[in-house]
């Protein structure tokens, strides 16, 4: 009989699982909504947060939290005088609130960015946009996560 | 790390706003996952910086954290100012970088 390496790995995994008492999956410790709010306050230096001029799009239901499509669009002419300087993406139910920070300018032509993020649980994701005049704009998206994607 | 994948037009008109799509293969270990065989925690190992330069001008920068998915992908826009090179740099937690370059013609 030949030994199938996959079979061997499988048996090893079972043995490890038995030894560790099945405690391979620790509970996800996540940032809280208040930590997310504190992070936003830190980024904006407690400046006023305006609504509008920014839109974050996330799926209503994310089947798999490991790869969730996010799009952030800011309404800006992207000229030397008036452009988006930075976009901060903040999550309120992942291990850490920061997801990604983008720095851009008039060379971008238009402020529209897409990427994929992980979601541990059902959560709100905030897009905080910093304009060249120093003003801040915020929008929130909510996704219901079926299978968490941070562990 | 393997070869990055880029999708950018070869030729654009002057002042045309064109899409840029860039992806690199990377596990983006968030420092929380356990090795399925050994049960040990895999240390954090992510791409933490992505820089896009257009003829030497820094036009788009991303600071990444552990919440980003593996094989980080970005889609964004640039404005066609002049012909030249658009270069991309991804830097990981060990300070190692991977680069890619694209030649664009502005008519």
- Give all domains of chain B, ordered by start, each with its CATH number: 5-106 (2.60.40.10)
Q: What was the pLDDT predicted at A26?
A: 45
Structural tokens at position A37: 């709010």
> 3-class DSSP state for residue A37?
helix
Q: How far apart are the first and last CA of chain B?
A: 35
pTM for this prediction? 0.84
Q: What was the pLDDT predicted at A21?
A: 40
A interface mutation test: which of B69, B70, B78, B82 has the most A CBs within 10 A?
B69
Could you give the percent of chain A with pLDDT greater than 70? 79
Buried b (16+ CB within 10 A) or exposed e, B63-95: ebbbbbbbbbbbebbbbbbeeeebebbbbbeee
Record: contact A104-B76, CB cut-off 8 A:
yes
Put simply, whether B6 touches A (Cβ < 8 Å) is: no
Q: What was the pLDDT predicted at A83?
A: 96
Q: What was the pLDDT predicted at B37?
A: 87
Record: contact A115-B73, CB cut-off 8 A:
yes
pLDDT averages per 10-residue partition of chain B, 107 residues? 88 96 94 86 93 96 95 96 96 94 96
Record: contact A116-B60, CB cut-off 8 A:
no
Residue range A77-98, pLDDT digits in tens? 999 999 999 999 999 999 999 9
Put simply, whether B39 touches A (Cβ < 8 Å) is: yes
Element (H, E) at A90: strand A84-91
Question: ipTM value of the model?
Answer: 0.92
B73-79 and A112-117 strand pairing: antiparallel
Alpha carbon distance A42, A118 (integer Å): 23
């Amino acid at each position: 009989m030949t030994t199938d390496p996959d079979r061997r790995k499988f048996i090893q995994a079972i043995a490890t699982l038995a030894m560790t008492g099945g405690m391979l999956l620790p509970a996800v410790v996540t940032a809280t909504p208040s930590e997310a709010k504190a992070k936003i306050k830190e980024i904006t230096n407690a400046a006023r947060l305006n609504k509008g001029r920014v839109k974050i799009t996330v799926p209503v239901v994310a089947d798999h939290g490991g790869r969730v499509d996010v799009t952030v669009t800011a309404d800006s002419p992207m000229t030397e005088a008036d452009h988006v300087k930075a976009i901060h993406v903040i999550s309120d139910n992942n291990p850490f609130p920061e997801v990604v920070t983008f720095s851009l300018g008039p060379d971008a032509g238009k402020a529209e960015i897409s990427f994929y993020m992980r979601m541990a649980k059902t959560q709100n994701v905030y897009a905080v946009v910093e304009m060249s005049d120093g003003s801040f704009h915020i929008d929130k998206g909510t996704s219901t996560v079926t299978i968490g994607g941070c562990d | 790390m393997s070869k990055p994948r880029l999708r950018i037009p070869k030729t654009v008109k002057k002042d045309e706003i064109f899409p840029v799509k860039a992806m690199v293969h990377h596990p983006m270990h968030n420092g929380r996952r356990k090795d399925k065989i050994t049960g040990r925690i895999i240390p954090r190992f992510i791409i933490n910086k992505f820089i896009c330069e257009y003829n030497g001008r820094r036009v788009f920068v991303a600071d990444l954290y552990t919440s980003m998915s593996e094989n980080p992908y970005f889609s964004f826009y640039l404005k066609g100012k002049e012909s030249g090179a658009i270069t991309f740099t991804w830097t990981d937690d060990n300070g190692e970088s991977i680069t890619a370059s694209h030649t664009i013609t502005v008519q």
